[in-house]
């Protein structure tokens, strides 16, 4: 069931016990309050469940915690989408943060243009757990790109584009944005920084070669769809 004017925040997490509480706190500190926070635990083996229990105890019905066997971030986000009740959808990875008024600037852009389906802010790279230090933030670079946590989505856009490809363990966000562009979805980039991407040891443990291969696979499939033929 979709509720008018209601924001659903979806947080996928895998072994994110060291970062999860800070991510949720950055959501709660926004000027625009979410209607629900959906936490999808993608088969964590650390203390994520214990952290989630404490958050649920303090937040009550605002936070919903769901455990699933490990299936990857795309499947976790799809699970969250299936549970979400909001007209508006936002994603935040458990090891990232939203800066002050991140949601506010995104909502302002979407509401200013009823034809917009997605608004994307900029991303600032920050280091480790001390990412909330403003002085440290200014020293790190920002970039624009298909980072789901920097965006705000109208719920209806997922009915047109579909969800995330669960076969992809990386680059699933790039794949979704390519499919959205191919379908003529209106996406606006705004200059405000709306996501703090925390670089830390755990976030860099995936193998770069498989990730690069999946990115190539995503780009190849997009080219095939555009050309209507199989690319060798």
d(CA 127, CA 197): 8
For the 3-223 domain, the top CATH level (class) is alpha beta
Q: What is the pTM of this model?
A: 0.84
Q: 52 near 41, Cβ under 8 Å?
A: yes
pLDDT beyond 90 at 205: no
Give the pairing of strands 36-42 and 3-13.
parallel
CA distance 91 to 9: 6
Domain boundaries, the chain: 3-223
pLDDT in tens, 31-55: 999 999 999 999 999 999 999 999 9
User: Residue 211: pLDDT band by 50, 70, 90 thresholds?
Assistant: low
Residue 175 confidence (pLDDT) above 70: yes
- DSSP class of 97: B
Quick one: pLDDT at residue 145? 77
Residues whose CB falls within 8 Å of the CB of residue 209, separated by 6 or more in sequence, listed in order? none
Determine the pLDDT at residue 189: 95
């Amino acid at each position: 069931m979709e509720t008018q004017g209601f924001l659903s925040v979806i947080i996928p997490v895998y072994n994110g016990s060291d970062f999860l509480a800070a991510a949720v706190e950055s959501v709660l500190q926004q000027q625009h309050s979410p209607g629900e926070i959906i936490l999808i635990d993608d088969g964590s083996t650390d203390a994520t469940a214990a952290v989630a229990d404490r958050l649920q105890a303090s937040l009550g019905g605002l936070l919903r915690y769901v455990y699933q066997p490990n299936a990857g971030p795309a499947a976790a986000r799809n699970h969250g989408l299936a549970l979400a009740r909001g007209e508006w959808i936002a994603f935040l990875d458990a090891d990232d943060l939203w800066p002050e008024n991140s949601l506010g600037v995104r909502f302002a852009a979407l509401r200013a243009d009823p034809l917009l389906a997605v608004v994307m802010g900029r991303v600032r790279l920050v280091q480790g757990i001390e990412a909330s230090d403003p002085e440290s933030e200014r020293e790190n670079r920002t970039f624009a790109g298909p980072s789901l946590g920097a965006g705000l989505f109208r719920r209806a856009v997922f009915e047109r584009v579909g969800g995330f490809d669960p076969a992809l363990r990386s680059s699933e966000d790039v794949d979704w944005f390519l499919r959205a562009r191919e379908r003529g979805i209106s996406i606006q980039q705004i200059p405000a920084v709306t996501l703090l991407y925390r670089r830390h040891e755990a976030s860099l443990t995936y193998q770069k070669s498989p990730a690069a291969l999946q990115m190539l696979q995503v780009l190849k499939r997009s080219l095939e769809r555009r050309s209507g033929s199989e690319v060798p």
